[in-house]
Amino acid sequence: MLAALAWLFVLGGAGMNAMPGMAGPPLSAVVLMWWLMMGAMMLPSAAPAILLYARVRETRSDHSRIGQSWVFMAGYALAWLLFSLLAAAAQRSITGSSMALHDRRAAGIVMVVAGLYQLSPVKEACLSQCRSPAQFISRHWRAGWTGALRLGLLHGAYCVGCCWLLMALLFVGGIMNLLWIAGLTIVVAIEKLAPLGRLIGRAAGVALIAWGTVAIGGY
């Protein structure tokens, strides 16, 4: 439901209609746009971990000592809020009030870097945590609401580490380009949930390197 509400916000323009007399929306609106857009894109693929945490809490005899599921999810959302603050600041410094990079070579460089990251050991390490929620929860489990918040924040941090350069591709296709948003959401979901997700993610990395190289060369 939260993901659906976030998608409605994105489909409605994410509040990016600049007020009369303003060069662009205020920074707080840009941060909110990024945060809810990240919720729309990331919550579906995070659902297995959130629901598994809820199931573990239900089956434990000492469930009263375990933080509720919304605390775990709040920690996850907090990680993406911190990312959204950085993304909004980057948008202001790189593109100003624009929603995309207009320099073809700069866009190509972003694609090549994102493609290389797709093939990196750091990406693989973060993706492994996201693809194995049961192992992640058992390894990092702590009791109490602080433990639940910490667990959600840590899981969110791994997801940010896994996907932050994919999210940077929004600067290439346009931050409010719905086709890019939907496409990246599908790629993230496949990487995390599909049996061949790792292979498909690497194939996407190779494609990004090739596409970015063509853009840099001006072909």
Q: Is the pLDDT of residue 213 over 80?
A: yes
How many Cβ atoms are within 10 Å of 141's Cβ, its own excluded? Answer: 14
How far is Cα 124 from Cα 161, in angstroms, rounded to an integer?
10
How far is Cα 17 from Cα 33, in angstroms, rounded to an integer?
11
Residue with tokens 């433990």: 147
Tell me how far the alpha carbon of residue 97 is from its chain's centroid. Answer: 22
pLDDT digits (tens, 9 = 90+) for 179-188: 889 999 999 9
Residues contacting residue 122 through CB under 8 Å, at least 6 positions apart? 161
pLDDT digits (tens, 9 = 90+) for 83-92: 999 999 988 8
Report residue 66: phi and psi, to 5°: -105, 130
Query: Residue 66 belongs to what domain range?
Result: 2-93+102-217
Q: Any idea what DSSP says for residue 184? A: H
| Number of domain units in the chain | 1
- Cβ burial of 12 (10 Å; 0-12, 13-18, 19+) is exposed
pLDDT digits (tens, 9 = 90+) for 103-157: 889 899 999 999 999 999 999 999 999 999 999 999 998 888 899 999 999 999 9
Q: Any idea what DSSP says for residue 66? A: B
| Helices and strands (H, E) in the chain, number of each type | 10, 0
Query: Whole-prediction pTM value?
Result: 0.88
Q: Is the pLDDT of residue 95 over 70?
A: no
Whether 78 and 152 have beta carbons less than 8 Å apart is answered as yes
In whole angstroms, how far apart are CA 173 and each of 20, 40, 185, 206, 210?
26, 17, 14, 18, 16
Residues written for the chain? 219
pLDDT value at residue 104: 87
Q: Identify the three-state secondary structure at position 143.
A: coil
